[in-house]
Amino acid sequence: MLLHWLKIAGLKLVWVRLFSDCTGRHQGNCCLQRLLMSVMVKRWYRSRRNQFIIFTISIICIVYYICLNDNLQREPDLDITRRNSVIEYIEHRIEEALKEDKGSGCEIPQLDPFAKEVVQFDNVYSPITCKGKDWVKCYLSECRVVDEILRTTTDIECTYQDIIHVSDNKYYLGEHRTVKGNKPYILDASDHVKVTCRGSQQKSLFSSTWVGFALGFRKSVPRLQPPPGREDTLNVLIFGFDSTSKNGFIRKMPKSYKHLKDHVKATILNGYNIVGDGTPAALFPILTGKTELELPDVRKTAKNNGTLDVMPFIFYKLTNDGYRTAYFEDMPWIGTFQYRFNGFLRQPADHYLRSFYLEENKSRKKFGKSRSKYCIGDTPQFQLMMNITDQFLRLDGKRFAFTFIADITHDDSMISVADDAMVELLQTLEQRNVFEDTLLIFMGDHGPRFAKVRDTLQGKLEERLPLMSIRLPEKLKRMRPNVQAQLEANAEILTTPHDIHATILDVLDWSQYMNPFKIKGADFPRAMTLLEPIPKNRSCSEAGIEPHWCACVNWKNVTDTEMIHKTVDAFITYLNELTSSQRSKCWPRTLTEVQWVMSQRPNSKMLSFVSNKDSDGYLGKFGAHTKIAKENYQLKVAVGPGRGIYEASMTYLKKEDRFVINTRDISRTNAYGNEPSCISATHPHLNPYCYCSDYVPQTVRV
């Protein structure tokens, strides 16, 4: 029997090898191999006994697969095709996780932004340069031919067509209106125009033409009167980049990071953790205070014609409160609220670029093959977004802007090309004293989430730790003197997009709208304003973060005795190496007691997360743990002779199977008294480690 199994195994091996050769680079002699194989295999299959064996193996495989596959399959209540089932499943999972992690707090992993593990994915990008020269630009509501063109071109005639938004999937071009020479075109029907200009270049016989786009702010936006007492509540600017982790921002935007920290004095939230997969999982909570699954189902796949207009987006409250609102997002073909969802029927904000970008993209196919995909006319698209944001903040009245840039970060992490422009925008805002009465939230939605990044532990953690920084308005700091200190105290505590929504409401003096939702069993609401103390013991589950999105690394007692020995041995060896130069004077020390050994670990769900299970990203698919290259350990031991008690932190390099220890991370927790008196004068730095061979302990008083 055994012989037979071996034979089968052998045959399988041959088969696997041949087949893998076929799929590999050696495709030349593949056909012959395949032919031979099929004859061999056919003959082999005809035997009854072999058929039985194959059947048995298949059954074993299936059973094995089912057992291995994670508990999702075994979860009796989960029907992945039903939304309610998914909702209940996730709710239940967070509640179960809360029983384990409640009150345990969160240790935010200390990651080196320049670690090799992640830097390997970064490329160097040259600046984006855009060709040509736009003939027409708009500033606020006036569009006109730019001076440079006026100087070189005569008989200029421009035809403007407004791009008029109907719904997220529908717009039309308005009537042609022709304007001559340097006369302005006033934006009225929309914020954006398609322009065709003709003129005679002085040095050329032929007339030249230009087709392009321009955008500004139409004059005729109806605005409601703010309710009494709310005439001058604060303004808000949320400025976001897609796929930008905190560390990625530090690496790739060094000037902006420095400027944001040192000049703008924004507070960077080191404990800011995502609550789900992708952009919607960040923007729904920030803009509505709820998760996607807590809001009506308006997915395209739900086929119910529902739109996002029914959701409690903050834009609607703001409009009723007399605010001007802007929602600027690029890349409409993968829009946050249009890619998986039916989008908005009415534009959610007064100023909204969707139809502009749709039309721009459409005509690009006709005219603009040679244009860089990152440009709108002669301007990099990200710069246009910054410019329009800046212009919006120059309008009068109360303002709320949400700007979200994706084109330079979504497919490639080339955010570095925007570093200088970002600093410039921040400087402009500062010079205009915008931060006097405007809350700035500068953020990313999540870190890069490509498969190869997710294959590394640091990449995975960075995906979960996006950039989030907050700059409070001066006016608010004067009205509530302790808010800045409060915010800073919360920077090292676990926070989420839900908290950002609560914070915006708090700044707008709208605490009554905060979502009081609590995870069942939790002591605190899921959303907490950053302007008040957030408890240090807040855990992922309490903050509404499922285990596989939780970046916290917690210290756990090591139970593996082999690992305990290894750690302790490495420490004692190191301790003795320190005194080895004085070996004639200092005794070698030996272990007398291990009090504890702990290791710092990310949670295992996070480690085994591979990607999404479903196209909506509601559930995770789990597999083998991501390899951990380095692990942190801490220990507390007592050594003889005498009784020296030490606590130490050390790093274990897995591949090299060795520990890195540094004297800075060792502390002697009891007094060494006169133990090292023989070397104290000559080698004082060895005082905590040396036990002199001539040391006579004083008799202990009983």
Ligand X SMILES: *[C@@H]1O[C@H](CO)[C@@H](O)[C@H](O)[C@H]1NC(C)=O
Residues at the site binding ligand X, with contacts judged by CB under 6 A: 102-103, 137, 139, 304-305, 333, 361, 364, 373, 387, 390, 428, 523, 535, 537, 555-557, 596, 598
CB 304 to ligand X: min, Å = 5
Instruction: Please give the Cα distance from 509 to 525 (Å, whole number).
Output: 19
Our CB check for ligand X shows the closer of 185 and 622 to be: 185
Instruction: Please give the Cα distance from 18 to 673 (Å, whole number).
Output: 72
Instruction: Please give the Cα distance from 465 to 582 (Å, whole number).
Output: 47
Contact 530, 266 (CB under 8 A): no
Task: Tell me the residue number closest to ligand X, measured at CB.
Answer: 103
For 468, phi then psi, to 5°, come to -150, 120
For 214, phi then psi, to 5°, come to -145, 150
Our CB check for ligand X shows the closer of 450 and 596 to be: 596
Our CB check for ligand X shows the closer of 203 and 520 to be: 520
Residue type for position 95: E
Our CB check for ligand X shows the closer of 576 and 649 to be: 649
Q: What is the dihedral of CA 211, 212, 217, 221, to 10 degrees?
A: 60
Contact 637, 583 (CB under 8 A): no
Our CB check for ligand X shows the closer of 364 and 518 to be: 364
Instruction: Please give the Cα distance from 330 to 656 (Å, whole number).
Output: 46
Our CB check for ligand X shows the closer of 142 and 321 to be: 142
CB 428 to ligand X: min, Å = 5
Task: List the structure tokens of 514.
Answer: 């905060």
Our CB check for ligand X shows the closer of 15 and 139 to be: 139
Contact 505, 528 (CB under 8 A): no
The radius of gyration computed from the CA coordinates of the chain, to the nearest angstrom, equals 32
Our CB check for ligand X shows the closer of 537 and 677 to be: 537
CB 70 to ligand X: min, Å = 26
Tokens 């005498």 map to which residue? 642
Pairing of strands 468-471, 267-268: antiparallel
Our CB check for ligand X shows the closer of 72 and 146 to be: 146
Residue type for position 239: F
Calculate the alpha carbon distances from 124 to 119, 121, 413, 573, 661 in Å.
11, 10, 10, 44, 35
CB 380 to ligand X: min, Å = 11
Our CB check for ligand X shows the closer of 361 and 632 to be: 361
CB 478 to ligand X: min, Å = 28
End-to-end CA distance of the chain: 74
The b-or-e profile of 434-467 (16+ CB within 10 A means b, else e) is bbebbbbbbbbbbbbbeeebbebbbbbbbbbbbb
CB 602 to ligand X: min, Å = 15
Instruction: Please give the Cα distance from 572 to 579 (Å, whole number).
Output: 11
CB 377 to ligand X: min, Å = 10
Strand order in the sheet with 235-241: 267-268, 468-471, 438-444, 235-241, 398-405, 323-329, 351-352
Residue type for position 554: N
Cis peptide before 641 (omega within 30 of 0): yes
CB 405 to ligand X: min, Å = 14
Contact 397, 321 (CB under 8 A): no
CB 295 to ligand X: min, Å = 18
Our CB check for ligand X shows the closer of 299 and 613 to be: 299
Q: State the DSSP code for 418.
A: G
Our CB check for ligand X shows the closer of 85 and 363 to be: 363
CB 389 to ligand X: min, Å = 9
CB 305 to ligand X: min, Å = 4
Residues 6+ apart with CB under 8 A from 102: 521, 522, 523, 539, 541, 542
Our CB check for ligand X shows the closer of 404 and 695 to be: 404
Our CB check for ligand X shows the closer of 139 and 513 to be: 139
Closest CA to 217 of 251, 184, 258, 189: 189
CB 382 to ligand X: min, Å = 12
Residues 6+ apart with CB under 8 A from 410: 242, 243, 331, 334
Closest CA to 543 of 564, 528, 555: 528
Our CB check for ligand X shows the closer of 89 and 239 to be: 239
CB 547 to ligand X: min, Å = 18
CB 556 to ligand X: min, Å = 6
How many other CB atoms are found less than 10 A from the CB of residue 562? Answer: 8
CB 421 to ligand X: min, Å = 8
